[in-house]
A and B are shown apart, each in its own frame.
Chain A
Amino acid sequence: MNRFDLAVVGAGPAGMAAAREAAEAGLCVALVDEQPRVGGQIYRNVERVEAPLAAVLGKEFMSGAGLAKDVQHAGITHLAGFSVLAFEKGKLALGAASGAMRIEAREVLLATGAIERPMPMPGWTLPGVMGAGAAQVMLKQSGLAVENAVLVGSGPLLHLVAVQLTRAGAPPRAIVETRRRGDARRAVMKWRLALRAMPYIKRSLANLTELRNAGVRRYMGSRDVALLGERRVESVVFASGGRRREVPCDVALLHHGVIPHVQASRAAGVSHIWSESQMAYVPECDIWGRTDAPHVWVAGDGAWIGGARVAELSGRIAALGIAHDLGYVRSVERDRRMAAWFEEREFELSLRPLIDRAFPPYEAALTPEDSVAVCRCEEVTAGQVRAAVAAGATNVGDAKVMTRVGMGRCQGRMCFPSVARIVAEARDVPVVDAGQLSARPPIKPVTLGALAQMHYGAGAKEGDAHDD
């Protein structure tokens, strides 16, 4: 059976909640995800996590278990391990190592989540340098806490990862924080907001207390951060408190916020707008998640960074909107059920500016120095991008043609945010004037074999011919 009312792309909180909600409304749902198991990144492997790992990861992580259980529903087909390669006019091409397949869906909901904001800085391509989220993945999925880590950057996730590593018996060597003490203070000065966000602030302070008690050193206001090592990272050097410092490590974990993962929505032809508060491009959509591309919807962090709870709510809201459009739910019923979710979502989103203000990105990694590779795949440096601008490039597309930036396997996922800013800065124009990277199918690299299989069928042999 390859025909569905709805294809949900991504099985994180938004996708899982949407799939369940849509199936409850009577829709036949395909839940497509690259991972072998549901959960997304935030609830990765949640179905299999038991004590004592559960205690290390915390209550919030374990709250995803309910969502994971919810997708076991007769109306939901979980297509695990499949990447969406392309979709148009109700047809989706899916690829996996085992082969490729096509499905049909009347509506498509993209719940592709977030990626960590790329953090290009000197030495960031050395083995042993990873995203802070990577340390969490290793912990969630394998129960392994990486030892001798130094965390670098800004954001609540940095503290959470440090706490989880500490609980697991592998406290990090240090946290090199690029934000200043004043950032948090300025954020809390918005006292009305701070009052509403009290549970978050309390949790955040509890994390910091736990780290202090464990003796984890935090260096605030760090600048000029570089990762050093011969064949892999060996230390982090930085300036903090007016002194040059060096902390040895086996692994450096970078993080300065997350941004929507928009590769699929770009390839779908959805319009994206620049958000100054999120400092990222976000897909344009209405309150239901409906985009300007026909039958394409977005929900969760892939639509707007709001965290796991917002993602879950927006997944439910989108599912209701879709069920309504397909005639499964009447308007009155839709609006009645949506009201409470919408109110809670608005509340959660209203707290977001506090986090954005308290944890600004690391400025030096937004427009890195000339020697830093911004494109990890094609090994193109920030200096090469600037040289392209000097030679006449006016937007990211020009820079791509002239330097190969964004032409590697990651298809610009890791470099586009930096390249857009570098081009804009070099031209002294707003970032939107640097243009956007176009994304075309295949959304993920695919083997010729998989393509052939999709076209000729699994039994095709070498030498089989086809007329069209």
Chain B
Amino acid sequence: MKPGLRFKSVVPEGPRVAVTFDGEALMLPEGANLATALMAAGIGSFRQTPFQGVARAPFCMMGVCFDCLLEIDGVAQQSCLIEVRAGMDIRPARQQREGPYESL
């Protein structure tokens, strides 16, 4: 895996809880912002685009762009709006490959 983002932490390390990302076990800081916690854990791709099939990762972190979309416990959600809870089953958002569409 290519390294994702690197961070300097300015807060004391809190308790971590176990979650899974795409089946892989991860320990993330409890109550942390989920999108940030995953990036800090080295996750570099959150979803694949429906047309070109290229990787996307969080962009706005404010609930606007939907590039942080993940499937969390079976429901597609914006991970930038969610806090880490123990036992979360997290997967890249599944999206049917679409197109190309005929131009009108």
Task: Mark A residues whose CB is within 8 Å of B.
Answer: 34-36, 41, 50, 52-53, 56, 81, 97, 115-116, 125, 127-131, 133-134, 137-139, 141-148, 168-170, 231-232, 250-251, 261, 376-379, 391, 401-404, 408-410, 413-414, 445, 447, 449
Partner of B61, one of A134, A261, A403: A134
Which residues from A are CB-within-8-Å of B55? Answer: 127, 231-232
CA distance A377 to B8 in the complex (A): 31
A-B contact sample (7 more), CB < 8 A, given A34-B81, A134-B60: A97-B82, A137-B36, A143-B9, A147-B7, A170-B7, A408-B66, A449-B75
A-B interface, 8 closest residue pairs, ranked by CB to CB distance from nearest = A143-B11, A127-B57, A134-B61, A144-B7, A137-B61, A409-B66, A170-B8, A141-B33
Which residues from A are CB-within-8-Å of B65? Answer: 376, 410, 413-414
Which residues from A are CB-within-8-Å of B51? Answer: 378-379
Which of A128, A130, A138, A391 counts the most B-chain CB atoms under 10 A from its CB? A138
A125 near B8: Cβ-Cβ < 8 Å: no
CA distance A146 to B51 in the complex (A): 30
Task: Assess A141 versus B5: contact at CB under 8 Å? Given A34-B81, A115-B60, A130-B60.
Answer: no
Residue of B nearest to A144 (CB): B7
Interface size on B, residues (CB 8 A): 48
A130 near B58: Cβ-Cβ < 8 Å: yes
CA distance A409 to B62 in the complex (A): 14
Interface residue SS majority, chain B: loop
Report A438 CB to chain B, min CB distance, Å: 18
Which residues from B are CB-within-8-Å of A34? Answer: 63, 81
Over the window 22-39 of chain B, the binary record of Cβ atoms lying under 8 Å from chain A Cβ atoms (1 yes, 0 no) is: 000000010011001101
A127 near B36: Cβ-Cβ < 8 Å: no
Q: Does B52 contact A (CB under 8 A)?
A: yes
Task: Assess A145 versus B10: contact at CB under 8 Å? Given A410-B64, A447-B75.
Answer: yes
Which residues from A are CB-within-8-Å of B104? Answer: 401-402
Task: Assess A142 versus B61: contact at CB under 8 Å? Given A127-B56, A250-B6.
Answer: no
Report B63 CB to chain A, min CB distance, Å: 5
Report A322 CB to chain B, min CB distance, Å: 25
Task: Mark B residues whose CB is within 8 Å of A.
Answer: 2, 4-11, 29, 32-33, 36-37, 39-40, 44-45, 49-52, 54-67, 69, 72, 75-77, 80-83, 101, 103-104
CA distance A143 to B37 in the complex (A): 11
Interchain residue pairs with CB less than 8 A apart (23): A50-B11, A81-B81, A115-B62, A116-B62, A128-B4, A133-B62, A134-B58, A137-B62, A138-B39, A142-B32, A142-B33, A142-B36, A144-B9, A144-B40, A146-B6, A168-B10, A169-B8, A250-B6, A409-B66, A410-B65, A413-B64, A414-B65, A445-B66
A127 near B44: Cβ-Cβ < 8 Å: yes
Residue of A nearest to B40 (CB): A144
CA distance A137 to B79 in the complex (A): 13
Task: Assess A115 versus B64: contact at CB under 8 Å? Given A142-B40, A147-B6, A251-B5.
Answer: yes
Which of B2, B9, B36, B59 counts the most A-chain CB atoms under 10 A from its CB? B59
CA distance A145 to B36 in the complex (A): 11
CA distance A139 to B8 in the complex (A): 10
CA distance A169 to B7 in the complex (A): 10
Report A164 CB to chain B, min CB distance, Å: 10
Partner of B67, one of A35, A143, A170, A376: A376
Report B82 CB to chain A, min CB distance, Å: 7
Residue of A nearest to B81 (CB): A34
CA distance A143 to B14 in the complex (A): 11
Report A147 CB to chain B, min CB distance, Å: 4
Which residues from B are CB-within-8-Å of A41? Answer: 62
Which residues from A are CB-within-8-Å of B40? Answer: 142, 144
Which residues from B are CB-within-8-Å of A134? Answer: 58-62
Report A136 CB to chain B, min CB distance, Å: 8
Residue of B nearest to A261 (CB): B64
Task: Assess A143 versus B10: contact at CB under 8 Å? Given A97-B82, A377-B66, A409-B66.
Answer: yes
CA distance A141 to B81 in the complex (A): 11
A129 near B60: Cβ-Cβ < 8 Å: no
Report A236 CB to chain B, min CB distance, Å: 15
Which residues from A are CB-within-8-Å of B8? Answer: 144-145, 147, 168-170
Which residues from B are CB-within-8-Å of A56? Answer: 10
Partner of B83, one of A36, A168, A402: A36
CA distance A404 to B64 in the complex (A): 18
Which residues from B are CB-within-8-Å of A408? Answer: 66
A148 near B2: Cβ-Cβ < 8 Å: no
Report A92 CB to chain B, min CB distance, Å: 18
CA distance A144 to B11 in the complex (A): 8
